[in-house]
Amino acid sequence: MNSISIIGTGYVGLVTGTCLSEFGIRVTCMDVDRGKIDSLSRGRVPIYEPGLDALVAKNLEAGRLRFTADIAEAVAGSNMIFIAVGTPPGEDGSVDMKHVLAAAESIAEHMTEPKVIVNKSTVPVGTGRRVKALVHSILERRGLGGLAFDVVSNPEFLREGSAVRDFMHPDRVVIGSESEAAAAQMRDIYNVLYLIDTPFIFTTLESAELIKYASNAFLATKITFINEIANLCDAAGADVHAVAKAMGLDGRIGKYFLHPGPGYGGSCLPKDTQGLVAIGRDHGVRMDVVGAVIAANDAQKRFMVDKIEKGLGGLDGRTVAVLGLAFKPETDDMRFAPSVPIVQGLIAKGARVRAYDPVAMDNAFKHDLAAEAAAGGLRACADEYEAASGADAVVLLTEWNQFRHLDLNRVRELMAGRHFFDLRNVYEPQDMTARGFVYAGVGR
């Protein structure tokens, strides 16, 4: 029977480990962050992810899920070891592989029996082979050159905010492997998904690694494309929602990821588009489309600041209420959130910003926007109504459900001005105008 250890207990590692334990498999989640492990061992989940707390508690209680900071224990306790550590962007956009290589090294230093090493982190094409060579060289040095092991690529496609549901009902499971036995073990641990007719793609290590980057870069392209069309709609007096709906009805295009906004953010799309350009560079292949997407996405955030500035007739001395800081609803993740450059851009042009987010306040004010808060340009508010009090403009930046149902009359009364910049197109322009707002969405 397979048992699993997960090296790296972040968004992906914790969700993967917890969901696999829910499938009935014995799972040990390991992390170098002792604080995180201590907290998880007591059933306290350190990230905000809907539905995850209950699953962690249930499987901890059942004894199928455990947490450790001890790599030796994690390696000894399982026959399949998943690597789910971060692959952040380096200075030049290339993928920083230090955590993946450190994890592979520590597995090789501790293994004494055959293992399947499964890479779940998003990594450049060629990493599986690199990990194989690294593990092999360490085993040889340890006098264990004959010890069998396989390396599998199993990229993860879950989205923060719906990670548990995505893991339990994925559009596909991708397994890259050179070993039939390892591929069969992978199918076995995902048997629950196999039984509900989830498509499985069995392919090579290289193809599996590229599928992840190609998918994320394509999604980023779709978002950026509709943002560009939205900007044109604004200038030409068209409605991007009508355009996107009609485009999406074409089966060759598809209706998803055609919602305009302030530019994509988050822990995946920005770093994976940059990563793909760097991977292309390493292979002597120009990735011009992806390069243009990155540039256009950066420009979209500046364009939003300009739009607010123009709408208000200047930002100097103006008070702007920002609703939502997380890169999307249902997460506390602030990595590459569009709110960061937009808030910074507003402050740089002289605005005072009052901000509120239902769950990302801590991350935002302690890390990403700490300097702006310390300098006095940014103030944390207790809720959306405190943020709106005395503001010349409200900017809706993250479409949390509670911002979809604002008491608009109260907001209007609390504000000093009337401008409402709806960067997620949550509200209807006509309705907002009728309520006395000077309303601006994106592309309508």
* Type of residue numbered 147: L
**Measured at CB, which residue is nearest to ligand NAD?**
10
Q: Is 160 in the site for ligand NAD (CB under 6 A)?
A: yes
CA dist 56 to 80, 152, 189, 370, Å?
A: 20, 26, 18, 31
| Residue 36 vs 424, nearer CB to ligand NAD | 36
Q: Is 274 in the site for ligand NAD (CB under 6 A)?
A: no
DSSP 44-81: --SS--TTHHHHHHHHHHTTSEEEES-HHHHHHT-SEE
| Residue 268 vs 293, nearer CB to ligand NAD | 268
CA dist 78 to 3, 14, 63, 423, Å?
A: 5, 17, 15, 47
DSSP 227-287: HHHHHHHHHHT--HHHHHHHHHTSTTT-STT----S---SSSHHHHHHHHHHHHHHTT---
The span of 81-89, 139-147, 230-238, 346-354 binding ligand NAD (CB under 6 A) equals: 81-89
Alpha-carbon span 122 to 157, nearest angstrom? 10
State in angstroms the smallest separation of the CB of 215 from ligand NAD.
Answer: 10
| Residue 12 vs 217, nearer CB to ligand NAD | 12
Alpha-carbon span 33 to 8, nearest angstrom? 9
Q: Is 303 in the site for ligand NAD (CB under 6 A)?
A: no
Q: Which of 103, 152, 223, 278 binds ligand NAD (CB under 6 A)?
A: 103
**Binding-residue pattern over the window 119 to 148 for ligand NAD, x denoting contact by CB under 6 A:** --xx--------------------------
Q: Is 32 in the site for ligand NAD (CB under 6 A)?
A: yes
Strand order in the sheet with 26-30: 65-68, 26-30, 3-7, 80-83, 115-119, 149-153, 173-177, 200-203
Are 78 and 107 a contacting pair, CB within 8 Å? Answer: no
Q: Which of 5, 11, 360, 417 binds ligand NAD (CB under 6 A)?
A: 11
Active site residue 268: yes
| Residue 136 vs 159, nearer CB to ligand NAD | 159
Alpha-carbon span 12 to 137, nearest angstrom? 28
Q: Is 267 in the site for ligand NAD (CB under 6 A)?
A: yes
Q: Is 273 in the site for ligand NAD (CB under 6 A)?
A: no
Q: What is the DSSP letter of 144?
A: -
Q: Exactly one of 19, 233, 268, 381 is catalytic; which is it?
A: 268
Q: Is 28 in the site for ligand NAD (CB under 6 A)?
A: no
Helix %, strand %, coil % of the chain (to 5): 45, 15, 40
| Residue 84 vs 442, nearer CB to ligand NAD | 84
State in angstroms the smallest separation of the CB of 104 from ligand NAD.
Answer: 9
Q: Is 48 in the site for ligand NAD (CB under 6 A)?
A: no
| 170 Cβ contact list (under 8 Å, min separation 6) | 157, 158, 193, 198
Q: Is 438 in the site for ligand NAD (CB under 6 A)?
A: no
Q: Is 86 in the site for ligand NAD (CB under 6 A)?
A: yes
State in angstroms the smallest separation of the CB of 226 from ligand NAD.
Answer: 21
Rg over alpha carbons for the chain, rounded to the nearest Å, is 24
Q: What positions carry a catalytic annotation?
A: 268
List residues binding ligand NAD (CB under 6 A): 7-13, 30-33, 36, 84-87, 99, 102-103, 121-122, 156, 158, 160, 267-268
